[in-house]
Amino acid sequence: MSTTHQLVGAGQPFRISPPVVVTEELLARCGGLPPVWSDPVALADETEADRVRERRLYVGLAAAIAVVVALYVVRSLLLG
């Protein structure tokens, strides 16, 4: 964004939500294990895993380039 297009909310503190209280009943419904959303660290880990997963796009790029190069080589060989 350019300086002439300042985003609304820029410079404001991040939004936060109050901590979630996990009741006994809720815990039982979740099979005894605390759900991911009840733990901010687990949520952060989940986001980090998704961020790292995006690196797979490099593999896709490499594969796409490889296929195009292979096609070009085959075409060149066949066309002499």
Partner 1 sequence: MTDLFPSDASTGTTVLTVFLLLLVVVGAIPVLAGLAQFLVIPLHAVRNHYRETGPYLPNVAVLVPAWNEAAVLTTSVERLMGLDYPPERLRVYVVDDASTDDTPEVLARCAERFPGRVVHLRREKGGEGKAHTLNHGLRHILAEDWMEALLIMDADVIYEPASLRKMTRHLADPTVGAVTAYIREGSGDPQGITRFIGFDYLAAQAASRRAQNVAGAMACLAGGAQLHSRENLEAIGGQIDTSSLAEDTVTTFRTQLAGRRVVFEPHARVLAEEPAGVDALWKQRLRWARGNVQITSMYRHLWFRRSVHPGLGGFFFGIFWFAILLLPVAMLLTSIGLIGLYLLDSRLASDIFGAAVFVPIATFVFMITLTISVDPRTGFKVWREALLFPGAISFVVLVTAAFPGLVPMSGTTETVWTLFVYSWLVLCIPLAYGVRKLEGTRWGRPLTPLALYLVGFGPLMCAITVDAYLKEFRGAAMTWDKTEKTGRVTV
**Binding residues vs partner 1 (CB under 8 A):** 1-2, 4-10, 12-17, 20, 26, 35-38, 40, 43-44, 46-48, 50-51, 53-61, 63-65, 67-68, 71-72, 75, 78-79
Sequence-distant (6+) residues with CB within 8 A of 43 are 36, 37
Whose Cβ is closer to partner 1: residue 10's or residue 28's?
Answer: 10
Measured distance CA(38)–CA(48) in Å, rounded: 17
Whose Cβ is closer to partner 1: residue 28's or residue 57's?
Answer: 57
Least separation in angstroms between residue 45's CB and partner 1 is: 10
> Do 45 and 63 form a contact (C-beta atoms < 8 A)?
no
